[in-house]
A and B are shown apart, each in its own frame.
Chain A
């Protein structure tokens, strides 16, 4: 059984990622009729044996487990970002079944569940531990550890899918995006934001083969050392030079957020960059309609006809 009482709409939502068959809770496992069993550890259903290539996110979100949560900071910046990058507001999601593909510590699920959505949050990394802790008192959030390219959800089961800043960290942004679409109900909406192929994202692409090899703890300590020095006097010439060659996060959300975001920007193994036109093409190829390229590049939304 789950360790928290879930909304009935969420309790039966998970399905076997291999067959799509329904799963039943049995003594610490989710069991399919075929006999496949998936463990439920610390209240979190586990569909993968490890965090595979996303160890940096396991480290990151268990270290900064609440840094970006509006309910913790009271800032409302994550809600604003969610709307900017998906076009969604409270009225769009209230009462809907929403998949947060790549939940992390739960930054956007925090907003969505606060707006009244029933949220399924999936992540490959051990960020699920942080998310589960953050949402332990929210019956309208179900957290599971799984590969978003092989989701433990039946086809045509989700009203809205959001994936903000996640798909570009998979081995193939396009393939993983297209694996999400079948889970959407007809008339359902999918909204994603991936790194654009310009500006600081393009510069960081060159660094990833170097920085992703660094031990997470060592690189995080370096970020914690350098970022305050950068912001102590941003007009210094060496800072300007460094920021041009090695762009640091500058979201205006405080030092801790910029340490987190600088680590986030350089530590992942995969770092895809894509133009808005390329992303819109994937939407068209996936058979989606009402495709809209939003103001923040490269954020695109569409509806399954």
Chain B
């Protein structure tokens, strides 16, 4: 009987070998799982497709109150959201990127402070200071990030 008790140190070269080797192995596994339809292809295609076309840049208009600190506005329906994949939209307030994207909607409502989420055909968001974005005089824009 023997037991593996703790980790012996390994060289940076071996660590790099492990990381590259496992990454390539998992990449291969991921491609296979997508080909056999165990994993969804659409989010991957949307991610890769973003590199082949101009980035989305949208103004946030017709803002409506949702609940708590949360407000909502429509987004073009064909832009991939977190509902079906991974949204690449980032929300800017007067040119400053808000830091907390992909936030849970409950957190947007109860905590606010610049949290936002692109979900389905809408953007759910709170102003950075929880003020009313319909009357605070700031401009909100959505810009697509490729990475």
Task: Determine whether A34 belongs to the interface, using a CB cutoff of 8 Å to chain B.
Answer: no
Task: Quote the shortest CB–CB distance from B100 to chain A (angstroms).
Answer: 7
Chain A residue with minimal CB distance to B21? A218
Alpha-carbon gap, A236 to B22, bound state (A): 22
The contact of A41 among B1, B5, B38, B43, by CB within 8 Å, is B1
Chain A residue with minimal CB distance to B88? A237
Structural contact, B102 and A235, CB atoms closer than 8 A: yes
Chain B residue with minimal CB distance to A63? B7
The contact of A245 among B22, B43, B50, by CB within 8 Å, is B43
Encode A213-237 as 1/0 by CB contact (under 8 A) with B. Answer: 0100111111001000000001111
Chain A residue with minimal CB distance to B97? A235
User: Which of A217, A235, A237 has its CB near the most chain B CB atoms (within 10 A)?
Assistant: A237
Structural contact, B3 and A62, CB atoms closer than 8 A: yes
Which residues of A are found within 8 Å of B1, using beta-carbon distances?
41, 46, 49-50, 126
Encode A93-135 as 1/0 by CB contact (under 8 A) with B. Answer: 0000000000000000000000000000000001001100000
Structural contact, A234 and B6, CB atoms closer than 8 A: no
Alpha-carbon gap, A63 to B99, bound state (A): 35
Structural contact, B26 and A246, CB atoms closer than 8 A: yes
Which residues of A are found within 8 Å of B63, using beta-carbon distances?
none
Task: Quote the shortest CB–CB distance from A126 to chain B (angstroms).
Answer: 4
Structural contact, A58 and B3, CB atoms closer than 8 A: yes
Docked complex: A40-69 residues within 8 A CB-CB of B: 41, 46, 49-50, 58-59, 62-63
Instruction: Count A-B pairs with CB separation below 8 Å.
Output: 94
Task: Determine whether B25 belongs to the interface, using a CB cutoff of 8 Å to chain A.
Answer: yes
Task: Quote the shortest CB–CB distance from B40 to chain A (angstroms).
Answer: 8
Give the number of chain B interface residues (Cβ < 8 Å).
39
Structural contact, B147 and A236, CB atoms closer than 8 A: yes
Structural contact, B6 and A221, CB atoms closer than 8 A: no
Task: Determine whether B146 belongs to the interface, using a CB cutoff of 8 Å to chain A.
Answer: yes
Which residues of A are found within 8 Å of B7, using beta-carbon distances?
63, 217, 220
Structural contact, B87 and A240, CB atoms closer than 8 A: yes
Task: Determine whether B35 belongs to the interface, using a CB cutoff of 8 Å to chain A.
Answer: no
Structural contact, A241 and B44, CB atoms closer than 8 A: yes
Alpha-carbon gap, A220 to B7, bound state (A): 10
Docked complex: A221-264 residues within 8 A CB-CB of B: 221-222, 225, 234-238, 240-241, 244-246
Structural contact, B102 and A225, CB atoms closer than 8 A: no
Structural contact, B86 and A58, CB atoms closer than 8 A: no
Structural contact, A218 and B87, CB atoms closer than 8 A: no
Structural contact, B29 and A210, CB atoms closer than 8 A: yes
Which of the four size classes fits the interface of chain A?
20 to 34
The contact of A218 among B22, B82, B99, B101, by CB within 8 Å, is B22
Structural contact, B26 and A62, CB atoms closer than 8 A: no
Task: Determine whether A201 belongs to the interface, using a CB cutoff of 8 Å to chain B.
Answer: no
Structural contact, A238 and B47, CB atoms closer than 8 A: yes
Task: Determine whether B39 belongs to the interface, using a CB cutoff of 8 Å to chain A.
Answer: yes
Q: Given the known A-B contacts A238-B147, A240-B102, A241-B85, are A225 and B19 also in contact in the complex, defined by CB atoms under 8 Å?
A: yes
Which residues of A are found within 8 Å of B44, using beta-carbon distances?
241, 245
Q: Given the known A-B contacts A207-B29, A245-B44, are A235 and B86 also in contact in the complex, defined by CB atoms under 8 Å?
A: no
Structural contact, B19 and A221, CB atoms closer than 8 A: yes
Which residues of A are found within 8 Å of B4, using beta-carbon distances?
58-59, 62-63, 126
Task: Determine whether A206 belongs to the interface, using a CB cutoff of 8 Å to chain B.
Answer: yes
Structural contact, A244 and B85, CB atoms closer than 8 A: yes
CB pairs A–B below 8 angstroms (18 shown): A41-B1, A59-B4, A129-B5, A207-B33, A211-B26, A214-B25, A221-B10, A222-B19, A235-B100, A235-B101, A237-B88, A237-B145, A237-B146, A237-B147, A240-B87, A241-B44, A245-B44, A246-B30
Given contacts A49-B1, A238-B147, A241-B47, 9 further A-B contacts (CB under 8 A): A203-B39, A210-B33, A217-B7, A221-B15, A221-B22, A222-B19, A236-B147, A244-B43, A245-B30
Across the A-B interface, the 5 shortest Cβ-Cβ residue pairs: A240-B86, A210-B29, A126-B3, A222-B22, A235-B101
